[in-house]
Amino acid sequence: MQYVYMSQLSVFLQKTVRTLLWLGGTVIFFRWLFTPLLPFLLALALSAMAEPAVQWLRRRMRVRRSVAAAAVTTALLLAVGGALTALLLRLVTELKQWSARLPEAANRFPAVWNGLLDRVGDWYSACPSFLRSALDTLANHLMEAGPSLAGDIGSWLMSAASSLIAALPDIGLFVVTAVLAVYFTSVQYPTILAFLKRQLPPDWQLKCHDAAQCFRATVLKWLRAELLLLSATFVILLIGFLWIGLDYALLAAVFTARVDALPVLGTGTVLIPWAAACLIAGNTGRGLSLLVLYAVAMLCHTLLEPRLLAGQADLPPVSALLAMYAGFHFAGVGGMVLAPLLLLLLKQFQDAGVVRIWRSQ
């Protein structure tokens, strides 16, 4: 009996130490190594995506690998870079126009705010008496915070723009490094993979192979489906905002689509409060138009999601919400986006038997 107890204790300690080492290694990687290695990890991922096209071009044109890799990489970077450049230029133009009109909007905000309070007051007078004490407290807080709200938002936006401008040299260095790394990695992609494989023990090589297969079979398909859903939502929002006649349609579509990309949240997080504010302020046409746009976006999302994500495992809403909160707590907005994706990846590895982190049954 004592021998069995000692054996179980030894297994428990081994699993505990292994789990702590994995957690410690993960924290060290994302805390100190992820940022400097990000251009090269991105280059490795893009080279893996371009590898089928490189192999096809080599067979089709009978050229050397360096020529095929350079051609495919150039085409890929031109397509991605051109699309991003056009989008960023349009965003910068709209941001400049919006920032130029921000002082005027800040000056008009008190009048708009007072008009909104008048409408709320009319609704308040029709409320039952037992609701008025709570509404009085809420109104006092809103009246204190309302006039300075526009100024605070403007200051935050200007601070964010200044931080972005200050970070431009680092962004430029990152882009140049990533582009060069993509070329070098694509040319020597099989050699680099063989080198990385030789650094792992034989049992780890098998697990990494299974992990790579699982990643390609599930997570990449999931990412592709999510990107297609995000693109469809962005196009619908952009067309809808242009139809409504919004001055900064592209900026609003990018922001709303970005919120929709976050797990659990959706376009309703932006469109429904926006529509409610328009209806309260008396802009009934825009409020109803935003509600119609939300209904169209939700309908398209509902129709496309089962077809694009068929057979793909998804996270339970509570798990996704926990991952979002933990990611935001430790790494800000970027962690809020990446943490659910990492949790999904761990779930896929768990289901495929690559790792054993929790008991499935």
pLDDT in the model for residue 315: 63
Could you tell me if 178 and 51 lie in one domain? yes
Q: Is the pLDDT of residue 231 over 80?
A: yes
Distance CA(183)–CA(119), nearest Å, equals 61
Three-point CA angle 234, 236, 237, nearest 5°: 65
In this predicted structure, which of 74-88, 156-170, 273-287, 305-319 has the lowest mean pLDDT? 305-319
> Does 270 lie in the same domain as 149?
no
Q: What is the pLDDT of residue 177?
A: 92
**Same domain assignment for residues 115 and 248:** no
* Domain identity same for 233 and 116: no
Q: Is the pLDDT of residue 343 over 70?
A: yes
Cα(263)–Cα(324) distance, integer angstroms = 8
Q: What would the pLDDT profile of 16-65 be if each residue is shown by its tens digit?
A: 777 777 778 777 877 788 888 889 988 888 888 888 899 999 988 888 88
Please tell me whether residues 230 and 182 are part of one structural domain: no
Nearest residue to 40 via CA among 163, 196, 206: 196
Structurally, how many domains does the chain consist of? 2
Same domain, 107 and 179: yes
Query: Which has the minimum average pLDDT: 58-67, 69-78, 119-128, 162-171?
Result: 119-128
Q: What is the pLDDT of residue 354?
A: 66
Q: Indicate whether 38 and 137 sit together in one domain.
A: yes
Whether residue 361 sits in one domain with residue 243:
yes
CB 261 within 8 A of CB 341: no
Residue 14 shares a structural domain with residue 71:
yes
Clarify whether residues 244 and 358 are in a common domain. Answer: yes
Q: Is the pLDDT of residue 335 over 80?
A: no
Q: What is the CA radius of gyration of the chain?
A: 26
Residue 302 contacts by C-beta under 8 Å, 6 or more apart in sequence?
none
Mean pLDDT over residues 4-27, rounded? 72
Last residue within a domain, chosen from 148, 171, 199 = 199
Q: Do 236 and 184 share a domain, yes or no?
A: no
Average confidence (pLDDT) over 163-177: 81
Query: Which residue among 167, 199, 231 closes a domain?
Result: 199
What pLDDT score does 149 carry? 56
Which DSSP letter does residue 282 get?
A: T
Both tokens of 192, joined, read 């680099």
| Whether residue 312 sits in one domain with residue 239 | yes
Of residues 46 and 348, more confidently modeled:
46
Name the average pLDDT for the chain. 76
Give the residue-averaged pLDDT of 163-169. Answer: 74
What is the percent of the chain with per-residue pLDDT over 90, rounded to a whole number?
A: 6
Predicted confidence (pLDDT) per residue in 279-321, tens digit: 877 788 888 999 999 999 888 877 876 666 554 555 676 777 7
Range of the domain at 48: 1-199
Residues 157-169, mean pLDDT to the nearest whole number: 71
Q: Could you say which of 175, 199, 223 is where a domain stops?
A: 199
pLDDT score recorded for residue 160: 65
Report the alpha-carbon distance of residue 246 to residue 101 in Å, rounded: 14
Pairwise CA distance, residues 43 & 273, whole Å: 40
